[in-house]
Amino acid sequence: MSRYSNRPLTRDLPTTQLFLDRYFSTGVYYPSINSGNQKRLLLSNPAESGVVLLAVEPTVRSSGQIKIDKHKNVSIDTTGDAPPTGITSKSSPEKSSIATVQLGGDTETGAFSDGLAFSPKTSAGSGGQGTPGSAGESGITNLIYPGDNLVLSATAVGNNRTISIDMDFIEYPEENLP
């Protein structure tokens, strides 16, 4: 018996989009971050894309305590480099994403400011992970419309932290929105 038998379409949205080659992943890993050092990952949806990016449970992991922030529609003061892995399709190596991703924060090339701030989160003192934002059964936490962006930030609390920031997303056709 399925745990979500009363909502099969809601729960199957990510799986359905995976089969339709619309599911992507991006992220970055930092091996040694000192106290107070902030790292940021910005996901942007081009203005003419024709899709809405559905962020699926963005996650920050760390070997120690960190502060996690999320901002929507920031100003891009300085364009950042893409993470080493860029954006990858979760279903097909031939499929590429319309979205763009940039790195920002301390000792990174990108600088971002302002934007709509969501409430900050803190990971457990001994490390672990944080998922900034509530997700319903579908796992979708944010919508990134054409021309919009979303930034996920991690600030080390204590020295020598390993930090990873991951953002999975679905490119959902704008005309299919309810």
Look at the pTM and tell me if it is higher than 0.75: yes
| Closest by Cα among 132, 133, 131, 129 to 163 | 129
Q: What is the structure's pLDDT at 15?
A: 78
**pLDDT tens per residue across span 30-84:** 999 999 999 999 999 999 999 999 999 899 999 988 999 999 999 999 999 999 9
Residues 6+ away with beta carbon under 8 Å from 129: 59, 60, 61, 62, 123
Query: What average pLDDT is seen over the chain?
Result: 87
Q: Which residue has the higher pLDDT, 143 or 133?
A: 143
Alpha helices, DSSP H, located in the chain:
8-19
pLDDT band at 12 (very low <50, low <70, confident <90, very high): confident
Share of the chain above pLDDT 70, in %: 85
Average pLDDT over residues 91-116: 94
Residues 6+ away with beta carbon under 8 Å from 20: none
| Closest by Cα among 138, 23, 162, 135 to 70 | 135
**pLDDT tens per residue across span 84-101:** 999 999 988 888 999 999
Whole-angstrom distance, CA of residue 113 vs CA of residue 77 = 7
Q: What are phi and psi of 170, to 5 degrees?
A: -115, 135
**pLDDT tens per residue across span 144-156:** 999 999 999 999 9
Torsion of CA 111, 64, 141, 174, to 10 degrees: 40
Average pLDDT over residues 96-125: 91
CB of 118 within 8 A of CB of 71?
A: yes
Torsion of CA 125, 114, 142, 163, to 10 degrees: -30
Q: Is the pLDDT of residue 2 over 50?
A: no
Q: Is the pLDDT of residue 134 over 80?
A: no
